[in-house]
Amino acid sequence: MAEPSAPAPTANEEEKGPSKRALEKAAKKAAAKAKKAEHALRPKEQAKPSTKSEPTSIFSEGWLKRIYEEKPVSEVRTRFPPEPNGFLHIGHAKAIAVDFGFAKHHNGKCYLRYDDTNPEKEDEIYFTAILDIVKWLGFEPSKITYSSDNFDKLYELAEQLINKDGAYVCHCSREEINNQRGGPDNRGKRYACAHRTRPIEESITEFRAMRDGKYQAGEAFLRMKQKLPDPDEGNPQMWDLPAYRVVKENHHHRTGDKWRIYPTYDFTHCICDALEGITHSMCTVEFRQSRISYDWLLEQLDMKVPKSEEKGPMQREFGRLSVGGTILSKRRILQLVEGTTVEKKNADGTVETKKVAPAVRGWDDPRLFTMVALRRRGIPAKAMLNFVDELGVTDALSEIEPPRFEASIRKHLERTVPRQMLVLDPIKVIIEDFATEDEQEIIVPYDPKGAIPGKRNVKVGSAVYIDRTDFREEDSADYFRLAPNKAVGLYNVPFAIRATSFSKDESGKVTEIKAVKVPGAEKPKAYIQWVDASTAVPVTARLYNSLFKTESPNTLDWKTGGWADDLNPNSEIIYQDAVIERGIKDLISETSLDLSGSSDALVRFQALRTAYFCVDIDSTEDKIVLNQIVSLREDKGK
């Protein structure tokens, strides 16, 4: 194609010739033209594949990578060792992900070990619930073990430790032992009791007497002979810890009444790790000081080479996961679940009894942060693991606020669950000029962005329900939803509606709205969710807020029940008469719904402009119950 000719030079240019600036400009233009022509003659390069990186595994870099490099064994073996005296909480999700994930990453094994050394507080329901949560998170233990598997061996090793002059039987009271260890704050003068120097044979005799029932609970302890008298030893975990104690309620769920004495955590844990061949014993940072006593005991029993990781397990500590604004302590959650009775002594010597009622319906109440509660609330297992991965693993405390947790869950739900229209507080709207031919079935995708497959049929009829919050009796310039003589759009409907009148009951509550269709050329400024009145499905919807008013409930009075005064009265808001589109029944029929709540096969969806919800286990064929999972990021003014 011919290039357009240059304009004719002016008379002045003919006389003087082109300027230096004009020549430079022409040269640049010619060079650009030549480069463009050369580029056009080159063969086109193939498009390069996307190099978008995959999320980096928490096990292939950072703290967990360094832990493996400290002990790079060919067969990794870890363990998750919960005490079966309560339900797991959100902090345990991180421990499960670390213990099982670390083993899986290195093609190793992870055991689930129940630390069942406290028969007074253990219950079969907790054993079942712990395994249930491990499996719910997607892990399968290589082996299930119990500390009680080793009771005979532990006793044998205790006598062995005594014979090595590494333990002694002490008859001091708990108060006396605390005083020997420096008092309540561990800062006072430390000293050894007279029993510390008793002959080895005498300690053996007394230990067997403990075993045979001679002593009651609190009358005798087997204590490890560590470094209590050493003024230079600043670690309380080396101040002659108890190894065995007599318990009052000695019946054990597995060993029956065989044992009257039971080993402590500090004696049991490291030995069981060694007996099971655990290579990497990972726990949270509150056990950091325990690493010294952990290694000391194994070295005393020749189960670990001193100052070496070549033999025996290696303990390392990562930062625990804690959530602000909630309670994770088992003892305190028990008060919330069961209530409590407290006694107050008055000045005149009389005792006043006060009963504090339960604050929640059970350990799985969605307002709690136990794992069974989070599962019932609808948190997906995959989202929980993603959250742990986002936080990463270091030796620093991971203390997060609920909004950060909810943002992570919301991000997962946004790309994985279908959309539905839910009306929490319905008002019926009659479209007066709706003709028979206007009735139709519209096909609406589960996700307008197409990320989630599937569609549903939505009926458009002459009467619809809208939410009470989407109607005002008096209009204003800054309000864009339904009001007298103001139009609003209905999601996915080809026409908008304008309110013409409304009715009220005796209390002044709006009960019905009359409306007309708005011509298609008149575009509304806002769209709202709605539900066809003839096909609406009645549901009960539960919305959740923080259980406490304060952001620091752990600072409340948990001794005399004062925490009850800080309960948030709006922690659970129930809409008994909510309605949802009929598509919810299709979602339920398409999902292998496990009403026990023990699987991840819950019906979850995004209720447009409202929140994310799941179908609760309280649902029946006659009434569906919904739990709010997390809220939406929605501008309430629109």
Q: Which residues are catalytic?
A: 83, 320, 330
Contact (CB, 8 A) for 67 and 105 = no
Using DSSP's 3-state secondary structure scheme, residue 410 falls into helix
Rounded to whole angstroms, the Cα distance separating 389 from 392 reads 5
Rounded to whole angstroms, the Cα distance separating 533 from 522 reads 25
The beta strands (E) that lie in 22-108 are given as 77-80
Contact (CB, 8 A) for 114 and 146 = yes
Please name which of 286, 282, 284 lies closest in space to residue 71, comparing C-alpha atoms: 282
DSSP β-ladder status, 261-263 and 527-528? unpaired
DSSP H or E run through 124: helix 124-136
Rounded to whole angstroms, the Cα distance separating 515 from 523 reads 16
CB atoms within 10 A of CB 328: 18
Using DSSP's 3-state secondary structure scheme, residue 338 falls into helix
The beta strands (E) that lie in 451-495 are given as 455-460, 463-467, 487-490
Question: φ and ψ at 80, to 5 degrees?
Answer: -115, 110
Q: Is 326 exposed, middle or buried (0-12, 13-18, 19+ CB in 10 A)?
A: buried
The size of the chain, in residues, is 638
Using DSSP's 3-state secondary structure scheme, residue 527 falls into strand
Rounded to whole angstroms, the Cα distance separating 58 from 155 reads 39
Please name which of 389, 535, 533 lies closest in space to residue 456, comparing C-alpha atoms: 535
Contact (CB, 8 A) for 496 and 524 = yes
